[in-house]
Chains A and B, each alone.
Chain A
């Protein structure tokens, strides 16, 4: 399944809003951006980041799904697959 551009853009916005000093601010964020290498998020930072996304997308992601998430695209697909579609983004 192709990740929707909407979801990728929303994730990019949430990444910027984190104001995490470890995240390179001028890095373009796309579907193939990796969480660990490009965004420098460790596993704990990923969990916090996902919590912010869950709130933004008004959904719940199970922590067991996270080990499979390597890229922004993986995350976007996971969000798109939730019962509450990204269309409910406010």
Chain B
């Protein structure tokens, strides 16, 4: 049955070889949003997407605990059967209010939000235009939709425009799908330009703010808020599994009859709903984002600290600081070795290997949190730089830059 994965198995066994399996790290204890215990070592976490550090927020924990006691461990049913409680409805109103939208639907994960929304929105006669660097959930949703699908060059509004021109006479609706902050390289979408192309062609626009919600914008509404194009965005998709510190996904919109998607999005209908404790904790997490703009400020300062620290150490990074910083390595074996040595030195980052990465790069992906102390960031930079030197990586950097 699994013969077709022979080459994957070989690569995997080779990767596992002498060193630990980077895709099977099992923390023995989570000590805080920024530290965990692994065996007898305490490791500094620099790759968690826990942008605001809300996983241990006492108010979120209190509300989640209360709901857990009052309503039990799970709903044991789907949203359209026995799985919608008051907390789910309240969470949907909370998401809608936060984003200033008429309606919101809550899904059990962000992955399912994209799967459900894209496949329900786009029919066979419609066309989906996806940014080439889109997340797997977007590709999978597009595939399920059965619509015509075309990819445009990453962050390239001119290529998007060119494609829409070609497709002008094709019947059906056109839906453009982009992300706010891209998870692998930490670059952001040129939303103003994309929105202009959308208007010109009368297309619809969906923005997945998975990594930017709570992170960007004066109110934390994401990149759409920063770019001032929220009125051009027809659908905002996002997740509760990053800045909100829990799990779950959503889609918010002002579209008339948006409710119909509750009866057509199969990833909404045919899976159990979020446990009430999660729904309650996430509602509170939105309050924290509203009440504590200083969390975003701290996150920004930490992102800048990591970025400038690595830059000063000789690493070639993207043009502007962002909470996601990736060191690009051309060789998966080197990336694996680097990653292992970082972990041995007490630093956890994400290892991202082809084909899950843009242009088949091997990445050490880091994400910072508002919960990091400046000293933790400085220590991380020291460790990354020291190992980079011992592996001869920093001197190899100009080659990496040339490939950009």
Could you list which residues of chain A lie within 8 angstroms of chain B, going by C-beta atoms?
Answer: 42, 44-45, 47-48, 51, 54-55, 58-64, 83-84
B355 beta carbon closer than 8 Å to chain A: yes
A59/B132 in contact, CB under 8 A? no
B355/A63 in contact, CB under 8 A? no
What is the bound-complex CA distance between A59 and B149, given in angstroms?
A: 14
What is the bound-complex CA distance between A55 and B159, given in angstroms?
A: 8
Report whether over half of chain B's contact residues are helix, strand or loop; otherwise say mixed: mixed
B163/A60 in contact, CB under 8 A? yes
> Which of B150, B152, B355, B359 is close to A62, meaning CB atoms less than 8 Å apart?
B150
Chain A nearest CB, measured from B145 CB (Å): 11
Chain B nearest CB, measured from A35 CB (Å): 15
B150/A61 in contact, CB under 8 A? yes
13 contacts between A and B (CB under 8 A): A47-B151, A48-B132, A51-B132, A51-B153, A54-B163, A55-B159, A55-B162, A60-B150, A60-B166, A60-B167, A61-B150, A62-B149, A63-B149
What is the bound-complex CA distance between A62 and B148, given in angstroms?
A: 6
Could you list which residues of chain B lie within 8 angstroms of chain A, going by C-beta atoms?
Answer: 132, 142, 148-153, 159, 162-163, 166-167, 355, 359-360
> Which of B149, B150, B166 is close to A84, meaning CB atoms less than 8 Å apart?
B166
B151/A51 in contact, CB under 8 A? yes
What is the bound-complex CA distance between A84 and B166, given in angstroms?
A: 9
Contacts of B159 in A (CB 8 A): 55
Contacts of B167 in A (CB 8 A): 60
B153/A64 in contact, CB under 8 A? no
Contacts of B163 in A (CB 8 A): 54, 60
A64/B149 in contact, CB under 8 A? yes
Known A-B contacts: A55-B159, A60-B163. Give 5 more (CB < 8 A).
A45-B360, A54-B163, A59-B166, A60-B166, A62-B150
A64/B148 in contact, CB under 8 A? yes
- Which residue of B is nearest A47, CB measured? B151
Contacts of A83 in B (CB 8 A): 166
Chain B CB within 10 A, most for which of A51, A60, A63: A60
Contacts of A60 in B (CB 8 A): 150, 163, 166-167
A63/B132 in contact, CB under 8 A? no
Contacts of A45 in B (CB 8 A): 360
Contacts of A44 in B (CB 8 A): 355
- Which residue of B is nearest A22, CB measured? B360
Chain B nearest CB, measured from A59 CB (Å): 7
B166/A63 in contact, CB under 8 A? no
The 10 closest A-B pairs by CB, nearest first: A63-B149, A60-B166, A44-B355, A62-B148, A60-B163, A60-B150, A51-B151, A60-B167, A62-B150, A51-B132
What is the bound-complex CA distance between A61 and B148, given in angstroms?
A: 9
What is the bound-complex CA distance between A29 and B151, given in angstroms?
A: 26
- Which residue of A is nearest B162, CB measured? A58
- Which residue of A is nearest B143, CB measured? A63
Contacts of A42 in B (CB 8 A): 355
What is the bound-complex CA distance between A61 and B150, given in angstroms?
A: 7
- Which residue of A is nearest B142, CB measured? A63
> Which of A58, A63, A64, A84 is close to B151, meaning CB atoms less than 8 Å apart?
A63
- Which residue of A is nearest B159, CB measured? A55
Chain A nearest CB, measured from B98 CB (Å): 34
Contacts of B149 in A (CB 8 A): 62-64
